[in-house]
């Protein structure tokens, strides 16, 4: 995932940067993770409201294909008939 790659790059380049640059990079990384989490919460709330499905923020932030996330939502959605949900499992 892109986040782990950027963290590795920061660690490998840490000897070449000043303490101020490292602090700034750390703050930027914290900001990115926070924004990702807030967006995931917004997506979670929208899915609950529109699709009648409660999914976790972890599921949304997981590095899984969108088709797999759609399958999770379909299996848990109250809008999908129980027979169809059973067939998906």
Q: What is the pLDDT of residues 22-39, one digit of tens each?
A: 777 777 777 677 768 888
> For 32-85, what is each residue's pLDDT tens digit?
777 688 888 999 999 999 999 999 998 988 888 999 999 899 888 888 888 877
Angle between helices 2-13 and 19-51 (to 10 degrees): 170
Q: Are 43 and 60 in contact (CB under 8 A)?
A: yes
CA-to-CA distance for 49 and 82, rounded, in angstroms? 19
Which phi-psi region, left, alpha or beta, contains residue 48 (left: φ > 0; alpha: ψ -120 to 50)?
alpha
The helix or strand, by DSSP H or E, that contains position 7, with its residue range, turns out to be helix 2-13
Question: In Å, what is the CA distance from 78 to each residue of 1, 28, 37?
Answer: 31, 39, 25
């Amino acid at each position: 995932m892109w986040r782990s790659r950027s963290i590795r790059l920061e660690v490998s380049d840490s000897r070449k940067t000043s303490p101020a640059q490292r602090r700034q990079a750390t703050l930027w990384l914290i900001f990115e993770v926070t924004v990702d989490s807030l967006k995931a919460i917004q997506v979670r709330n929208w899915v609950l409201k529109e699709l009648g499905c409660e999914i976790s923020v972890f599921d949304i932030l997981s590095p899984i294909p969108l088709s797999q996330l759609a399958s999770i939502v379909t299996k848990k959605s109250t809008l999908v008939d129980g027979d169809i949900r059973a067939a998906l499992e």
